[in-house]
């Protein structure tokens, strides 16, 4: 980064300057917010190659097409969505007025919170850093962004880009101590990362009663209904599992497949991986694991599974070629998974797909419900009773039916987890409202029914009370 900020006092100074500027200038107008979004979009597009090169450098190898599609397109489409809907989102909403106050008017106005803190992860260092920033700006806030220390090249591009279009009192990029950042008295804090760190962030934020949005993760299941075309399911699961080599919070973590169809699915999945990555894990389209630390964790999961009797199968073309590129893991299937294995309990965050057999759809649902609520759930099956049962009896952040990932690309849908996969949501109007204060306003009319409830009380008061308590 261009500036290293480690001291809590320095972070406090930035926060104070942003808050003072917010108080001085007030809420930005619709025109100002749209102008900021336009500048943001233009700056991102102009830095496309720099962004792709930086993300590639941080990962060791990251497909430039993946970076363009998931990082760039995701944010640019989010900006377009917000710009298109901002007037509607900012408009006050009329609310119902109580019977005895009908001469008055009630409405909700959405005003900026003030200063929003954003802590972003390494796995999608552009999208998961900038989409919360864009949403905060659209809602009229100032922003302090702390990206991951694991993506220094990308952070440098982000810093250069944002300092080129916004003054520090509006948007500031900082590094340093994440714990100190979490303890700052923001008006709202958005954290994306692991459940373990999310707990620490929430605890730190609670010292100042800072409301938090936690976008965490967990083990997002895939359920394939018996009889669903396995070639189609395998192709779409391979896309979701192997995008960025599985380093995605909503990647399919494991697949629940009817026990009679497991062998056929493995064959279909192997064919799908070969079609998607004809040059194997050393090809340009296949992404490396971010660093040796994450790579070692994935290897430990596989070693632990083997030690407990699991069968580990590498699939696709030329899996041994993965060793020719640093911290690269080939697409892998794991069979015979049991609850005493780490791979059954920890979020995988890599190109490893455990397959769990089931006998009935009730068994699959029970398996999901015995575990913490996931950030996403994927179901492949017809529009029938089984589909409706899965949707009604499981609880997850979001769902894609007969596909993977697609819900995240719907800008008008909220995105967020539940339970151990997170709390709160952004994207859609929910994102705008998460980072806004919904101020309820009542304008007293000429006549006020509340006068009937004032002392001195008498027979009329008793009659009015009796009317309302009928």
Residue 124 in tokens: 């999608």
Output the CA–CA distances (angstroms, integers) from residue 438 to 107, 441, 443, in the order listed.
10, 10, 16
CA distances 130 to 13, 282, 452, Å, are: 23, 30, 53
Cα–Cα distance between 278 and 71 in angstroms, integer?
24
* Preceding peptide of 171 cis, ω within 30°: no
Structure tokens belonging to residue 447 = 């006549």
Beta bridge partners of 352: 332
d(CA 78, CA 36): 14
DSSP secondary structure string for all residues of 1-12: --S----HHHHH
3-state SS class at 117? strand
Radius of gyration of the chain measured on its C-alpha atoms: 25
Is residue 130 left, alpha or beta, with left meaning phi > 0 and alpha meaning psi from -120 to 50?
alpha
Q: How far apart are the first and last CA of the chain?
A: 67
30-46 and 152-165 helices cross at what angle (nearest 10)?
140
Catalytic-role residue among 249, 261, 347, 420: 249
Q: Is 352 helix (H, G, I), strand (E, B) or coil?
A: strand
Tell me the two tokens of residue 384. 């029938």
470: number of CA atoms within 13 Å, CB side? 5
Distances (CA, A) of 240 to 253, 282, 369: 10, 19, 22
Closest CA to 169 of 290, 278, 36, 20: 20
C-alpha to C-alpha distance for 189 and 243, rounded to whole angstroms: 28
Structure tokens given for 120: 């972003």
215 is catalytic: yes
Active-site residue, selected from the candidate residues 52, 66, 169, 215: 215
Q: Determine the Cα–Cα distance for residues 333 and 252; give it in Å rounded to an integer.
A: 12
Farthest CA pair distance, the chain: 91
CA atoms within 13 A on the CB side of 61: 16
**Is residue 249 among the annotated active site residues?**
yes
In the β-sheet with 436-443, what is the strand arrangement from edge to edge? 93-95, 105-112, 436-443
> Burial of 220 by CB count in 10 Å (0-12 exposed, 13-18 middle, 19+ buried)?
buried
Catalytic residues: 215, 249
């Amino acid at each position: 980064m261009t500036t290293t900020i480690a001291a809590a006092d320095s972070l406090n100074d930035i926060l104070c300057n942003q808050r003072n500027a917010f108080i001085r200038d007030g809420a930005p107008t619709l025109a100002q917010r749209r102008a900021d979004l336009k500048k943001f979009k233009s700056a991102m597009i102009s830095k496309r190659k720099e962004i792709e090169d930086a993300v590639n450098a941080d990962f060791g190898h990251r497909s430039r097409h993946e970076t363009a599609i998931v990082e760039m397109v995701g944010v640019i489409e989010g900006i377009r969505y917000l710009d298109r809907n901002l007037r509607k989102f900012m408009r006050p909403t009329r609310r119902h007025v109580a019977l005895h106050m009908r001469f008055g008017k009630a409405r909700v106005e959405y005003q900026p919170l003030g200063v929003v803190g954003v802590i972003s992860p390494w796995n999608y260092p552009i999208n998961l850093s900038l989409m919360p920033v864009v949403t905060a700006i659209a809602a009229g806030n100032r922003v302090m962004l702390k990206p991951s220390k694991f993506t220094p090249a990308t952070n440098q591009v982000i810093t250069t880009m944002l300092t080129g279009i916004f003054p520090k009192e509006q948007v500031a990029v900082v590094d340093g101590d994440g714990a100190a950042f979490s303890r700052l008295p923001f008006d709202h804090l958005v954290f994306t990362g692991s459940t373990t760190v999310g707990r620490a962030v929430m605890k730190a934020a609670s010292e100042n009663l800072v409301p938090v949005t936690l976008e965490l993760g967990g083990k997002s299941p895939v359920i394939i209904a018996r009889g669903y075309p396995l070639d189609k399911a395998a192709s779409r699961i391979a896309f979701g599992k192997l995008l960025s080599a599985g380093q995605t919070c909503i990647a399919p973590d494991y697949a629940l497949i009817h026990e009679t169809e497991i062998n056929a699915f493995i064959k279909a999945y192997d064919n799908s991986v070969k079609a998607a990555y004809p040059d194997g894990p050393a090809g340009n389209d296949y992404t490396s694991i971010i660093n040796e630390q994450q790579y070692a964790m994935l290897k430990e999961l596989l070693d632990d599974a083997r030690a407990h009797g699991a069968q580990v199968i590498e699939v696709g073309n030329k899996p041994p070629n993965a060793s020719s590129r640093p911290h690269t893991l080939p697409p892998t299937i794991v069979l015979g998974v049991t609850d005493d294995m780490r791979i059954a309990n920890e979020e995988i965050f890599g190109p490893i797909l455990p397959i769990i057999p089931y006998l009935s759809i009730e068994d699959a649902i029970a398996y999901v419900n015995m575990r913490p609520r996931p950030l996403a759930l994927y179901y492949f099956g017809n529009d029938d009773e089984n589909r409706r049962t899965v949707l009604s009896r499981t609880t997850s952040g979001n769902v894609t039916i007969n596909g993977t990932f697609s819900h995240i690309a719907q800008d008008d849908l909220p995105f967020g987890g539940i339970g151990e996969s997170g709390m709160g949501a952004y994207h859609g109007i929910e994102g705008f409202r998460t980072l806004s204060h919904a101020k309820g306003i009542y304008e007293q009319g000429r006549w006020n029914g509340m006068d009937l409830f004032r002392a001195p009380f008498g027979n009329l008061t008793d009659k009015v009370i009796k009317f309302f308590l009928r």
